Structure 1
Amino acid sequence: MARNASSPATRNGWRKTRRSHTGQPPMPAMSKAATDYQADSTTEESTEFHGSAETDYLGRTYMHVPQDLDIDLRKEPGSIKNYVPKKLVHTWKSHTKPITSLRFFPRSGHLLLSAAADGKAKIWDVYHQRELLRTFSGHTKAITDTDFHPSGKTFLTGSYDRQIKLWDTEYGKCLGRFSTGKTPHVVRFNPSAENSHEFLAGMSDKKIVQFDTRSGELVQEYDHHLAAVNTITFVDGNRRFITTSDDKSLRAWEYGIPVPIKFIAEPYMFALTRATPHPNGKYVAFQSGDNQIVVYGATDKFRQNRKKSFRGHNTSGYAVDIKVSPDGQFIVSGDSGGYACFWDWKTGKMYHKIQAGGKEGGAVTCLDWHPQETSKVVTGGLDGLIRYWD
């Protein structure tokens, strides 16, 4: 008699098998629920275009950087002076759950990529009609992180469904799927031209994995952290990267070499949950679990800069985004009370807070600073709305 798929014996047998053959194709005669993460990988990806027209009168899609504006989006980011935004200029609404990631299009910033706990990624027009242009559906659980390829032509999404997907920004097609069977917490393309076909992902099982998007192969594994990995930041001309983890440590690595070149763990350190490099390439700022932002050197010693710490905001357990303005003058952070907080990078003095979480004051967990504008910042958080400030 064939055993019922959900009988305890099969279930226990499945547990044993799963432990010993992680990532193998599912065994026959198993209940769907038992292997739901295996089923996730076959989720059909789909995309929907929402804009008014796919191409303009010259046949160009939304990838074309607009030139009919009073601002030149082709100049070098950080070449103009930045100011702190004061007022709300636009609100985008389409996601049904909290926002988990906001990224401006590389260099020009004429598009905005958002992702949320509803498992969807969306591309928005930052200029002209400011309309929703495209929705990318293909994850069955909340998206944890996104990252644009340096060219902007593709982007990555990582999700709690344990999948990392590579998408075509222009047409919405899913170009690749990557999984180790664990949850990716952070995904980062290698920004350098010669290695931009590779990306790193920091996983819930304390590993950092390196994938090649051309072959789909896992090409390297960095396995020294003792808990889930939170941040990956490329430094030193992209030859190295710094990672932080829930194990309350910071590690620096040579790209491609799976042995850390620096390990920092002090008894007073808290988990560092978010990171942003300073545009001058000398520092990386980290959101620390004790309601402050700490700064470490991005060069040989990777020492903490004791003189620089930014306080006055509250994160209460959320991983809250931070960002340095393109000219390096300001640092901005979200806040669990629904604020966006701005500090002077040099003095560490807080300029002001904007109430950015709506009337109910949901936490602001995501933000990005526009690469080309003087004072435009986008924020998002628990209420699912994306707010644009100037």
Structure 2
Amino acid sequence: MEPPAKKLRPYVTKWERRQKAAAEKKLLIENENERETLEESDLKELFLTNETVLEYQDKFHKNNLPRKVCKKASLSCDPPWCLRWCPKFSHLLAVTCEKTVKLCDVMKDNEIKVVHTLQHEANTRHCDWSRTSRQLATCSYDQKVQAFDFLSQGKVTCTLEIPETPSCLQWWRDDENMILVGGENSFLASYDLRTGKEASRYRFKCGKILSFDFFINNTSFMSSCDQVNRQSAEHNLIVWDVRTAAKISNQIFHERYTCPHLRVHPSGTNILAQTTGNYIARFSTQKPFRLDKFVRYQNHTVNEYPVGFDISRDGQFVVSGSSNGSVVCYKHNNGNYMRTISLSVTNESDSCVDVQCHPVMPSMVAISNWAGNVYIIS
């Protein structure tokens, strides 16, 4: 039996093969350029300020107390550790434990929509917007800090290798190129994003850095840690000089409680600290940084959860989460209890994790809880 005859193919010259390969390469480049143009246009559309936000940007409005939950979304199975409102646009950033940072739009529709996702190689821990809303910094458990530039299509502009696992970060108030990073084993340092090198190290044996916030004068900041000595509590709150990296405070807080969150009041006269003793303490931002013994915010519970809180834009109200899944509002000047807002959680152990007041919209607050949900109350 004769084998089947081979299929004859027409002869193609070398010049024709080169022309065909060049045409295919040109078509591939055009498709990539078109895709990049579409991604760039889509990204620009994401950062169009909502008309409602524009109305409140020009004028200063007094805040009102939020009353009820108006929006809800489930972003993750794990708790979103950090929420950050974009200072200039109507977006909310949520850091989840699924190696992603999700950018949510809460103004354009009746629901919270995830409009952009940043992928990481490891679980993310914290994030912060720059003051101009152009750059975004995130830290993850692979000991990396990444800076994204949204005017360059959201690309990574700088990656910092941290010697310890970072736990929190924040941009300097007066310098867009400097960032402060805290982490495990008393690691606290500032980095210059232009060079990617460490600018200064704040050295003191204080355990894991939990939170910090800059004072209004931009020359000092306060940090909190998880180390509380049985004999002395001088390590849990420390005030540092930003430029010289010198410790400028003695023992500030005499109670043996850790402080998972710190917030400086918009007036700059005092700083508030959430404590694991089921209350928020208030301290002066002037030496010797005394505790205000007459004002205490204590109608919520913490129960060793990293419960967050925030201060309204005009500084009148303090909004704190609670470990029972509710939000409690206080008057700032005297600490009086004002209102409790229930999030209608199904499990009483779904504690609030982070609380963020909108930087422009009055009475709008974002809350994340232990079940992976994000709530907007107004």
Classify the TM-score, shorter chain.
Answer: 0.7 to 0.9
How many Å separate the matches in 2 of 1:123 and 1:260?
36
Q: Which residue of 2 aligns with 1:186?
A: 168
1:41-87 deviations in Å (ceiling 9; x for gaps): xxxxxxxx9xx99648xx94322323x338514336xx211111112
Is residue 322–residue 352 contact of structure 2 (8 Å, CA) maintained in 1?
yes
Residues 253/337 of structure 1: CA separation in 2 closer, same or farther (3 Å cut): same
How many Å separate the matches in 2 of 1:387 and 1:220?
38
- How far apart are 1:166 and its partner, in Å? 1.3
Is residue 333–residue 341 contact of structure 1 (8 Å, CA) maintained in 2?
yes
Q: Which residue of 2 aligns with 1:258?
A: 245
Equivalent of 1:363 in 351, 365, 372: 351
Amino acid at match of 1:91: K
Q: Moved runs in structure 1, 4+ residues, more than 6 A?
A: none
Residues 296/317 of structure 1: CA separation in 2 closer, same or farther (3 Å cut): same
Equivalent of 1:204 in 176, 180, 184: 184
Q: Which residue of 2 aligns with 1:308?
A: 295
Equivalent of 1:62 in 46, 51, 74: 46
Matches within 5 A, 1:1-390: 55=41, 60-66=44-50, 68-69=51-52, 72-75=55-58, 79-106=60-87, 108-129=88-109, 130-141=112-123, 143-169=124-150, 171-192=153-174, 195-248=175-228, 249-356=236-343, 358-361=345-348, 362-390=350-378
Over the matched positions of the two proteins, sequence identity in percent amounts to 20
What is the root-mean-square deviation of aligned Cα atoms in Å?
Answer: 2.2
Structure with the higher fraction of residues in helix conformation: 2
How many Å separate the matches in 1 of 2:150 and 2:75?
18
Number of residue pairs aligned between Structure 1 and Structure 2: 331
How many Å separate the matches in 2 of 1:167 and 1:239?
26
- How far apart are 1:267 and its partner, in Å? 4.2
Unmatched runs of 5 consecutive residues or more in structure 2: 1-34, 229-235
1:144-188 deviations in Å (ceiling 9; x for gaps): 211111111111112223222212346332222213231111101
TM-score, normalisation: structure 1? 0.79
Is residue 227–residue 245 contact of structure 1 (8 Å, CA) maintained in 2?
yes
Residues 54/240 of structure 1: CA separation in 2 closer, same or farther (3 Å cut): same
Residues 263/383 of structure 1: CA separation in 2 closer, same or farther (3 Å cut): same
Amino acid at match of 1:285: L
Give the greater-gyration-radius structure (CA).
2
Is residue 54–residue 62 contact of structure 1 (8 Å, CA) maintained in 2?
no
Is residue 237–residue 253 contact of structure 2 (8 Å, CA) maintained in 1?
no
How many Å separate the matches in 2 of 1:91 and 1:254?
41
- How far apart are 1:190 and its partner, in Å? 0.2
Q: Secondary structure at the match of 1:181?
A: coil
How many Å separate the matches in 1 of 2:55 and 2:333?
28
Is residue 236–residue 299 contact of structure 1 (8 Å, CA) maintained in 2?
no
Q: Secondary structure at the match of 1:102?
A: strand
1:68-110 deviations in Å (ceiling 9; x for gaps): 338514336xx2111111122112333332111111111x351
Is residue 79–residue 353 contact of structure 2 (8 Å, CA) maintained in 1?
no
